[in-house]
Amino acid sequence: MKKVLLGMSGGVDSSVSAILLQKQGYEVIGITMALSKETDDADAKKVCQELGIEHHFVDMKNEFKKHVIDNFIDCYANAKTPNPCIECNRKLKFGVMFEKAKELGCDYLATGHYANIEYSDKYNQCVLKKGDAIGKDQSYVLYTLPSDMLENVIFPLGKFKTKDEIRKIAKENNLNVVANKPDSEDICFIPDGNYKKFLEENSNIKPKTGNIVLQNGTILGKHSGLYNYTIGQRKGLGIAYKEPLFVLGFNVRKNEVIVGTKEEVYKDFTVVENVNILIDNLGIENLHVKVKTRYSNQESEAILQTIDSNMIKVNFIEPVKALTPGQSAVFYIDDVVIGGGIIKKVD
C-alpha cells in the first residue's frame, strides 16, 4: 500500500482529502504545521482519530517567520506587494513538508489545493493544471513546485466543481466538526485582514509622510506612508487634479508615491525574476502564453523572451493594468501551468 503524507489544517478541504485518499487505497498520514503560537491542531487531530490515521504536529514557526513573514515585511519595506501563500508553498508545504514526507517513508505528498496534476503525452511528463472548480482554481499559487516533484504530489480535490460537493462528502462521512467551517483567510497570520496594522506592530515600518508626485516630479500632495498604497489605486489619494489619477509606482529612495493617468497605469511589458519553469526542455523564447498577474486577475496574452536563466521579459499583446512588483506572473498554455516568476519591474 502506497503511503501519502497529507497536509491538514483542520479545515474541510484537507479533511475531505483524507477521506478521498483512503478510498483510493492509500495509507494516509496527516501532518499539521504549527506556523504561529495560535496554530490549533485540535480539529485536524480529531478528524485523524475519526478516520483512524496517524497524525503529526510539527513546529515550523521559525521556518514560517523566516521564509514567509520576514519576506512579507521586507517586500513592503521595499514598496513591493508580496503573495505570502506562494512563499509558503515554495518553502514550507512543498519544501520542508516534502522532506518530512520522505523522512516518514511516504511515496507522495498531498494537500487540499484546488488544482490537478496529470501525465501529459504532449509534454511527456507530469504537468500542473488548473483545478476544475470555477472560481477556486489555485494553480496560480503552486507554480513554484519543482518539475521533478510533480509525480509525487497529489491534489485530491482537483476534479471537483464546487465547494458544496466537498462539504457534502464531509457530512456524509460524519465529519461534522469541519463540514461547515468557513473558508480560511487569505493571509493566515493576519486573521483580521489589517496588514497595515500588522506591519506597524511587527516591523520597523511606520507611517512616514512624503510627496505624491507625477512622473515628471510635479508635487500634488502628501502621502501617509508608502505601504498604505497599492499600484492601480485611485480612491483615497487625497489630491485634486484635472483628471482621475492612479498610483503608478514608488520611489523608495525619495519616499514618493508616483501617480498618473488611466492610460499610464497600463503597461506593455514586465520583467519577472526567480523564474520557475515546470515543463522540461521547453523553449521559452518567443513562446505565446496566457499570463495571470494576480490570483484574482483574468489572463492576458503575451509572448515570452528570455533574459537569462533567472529572468524573463513578458511582452503583452494588449496593455495590462496595474502590474505590481512582488506579485507573481504565472504562464499558461491552455490549462497547463508552464511556469512563472515574481514581477520585478514594469516599463
What is residue 177's three-state secondary structure? helix
Sites in the chain below the pLDDT cut of 50: none
Question: What is the residue extent of each domain of the chain?
Answer: 3-112+156-179, 207-256, 265-346
Q: Indicate the burial class of 224 (C-beta count within 10 angstroms; 0-12, 13-18, 19 or more).
A: middle
Same fold, 3-112+156-179 and 265-346: no
Residue 326 CB coordination number (10 Å) = 19
Give the catalytic positions in this structure.
88, 188
**Residue 39: per-residue pLDDT:** 79
**Each residue's pLDDT tens digit, 110-165:** 999 999 999 999 999 999 999 999 889 999 999 999 999 999 999 999 999 999 99
Name the pTM for this structure: 0.95
Torsions phi, psi for 166 (to 5 deg): -70, -45
Among candidate residues 60, 9, 12, the one with its CA nearest the CA of residue 180: 12
DSSP letters for 55-119? EEEEE-HHHHIIIIIHHHHHHHHTT----HHHHHIIIIIIIIHHHHHHHTT-SEEE---SEEEEE
Residue 175 CB coordination number (10 Å) = 22
**Residue 185: per-residue pLDDT:** 64
Tell me, which fold does domain 265-346 have in CATH?
A: Elongation Factor Tu (Ef-tu); domain 3 (2.40.30)
* Architecture in CATH for domain 3-112+156-179: 3-Layer(aba) Sandwich (3.40)
**Residue 284: per-residue pLDDT:** 93
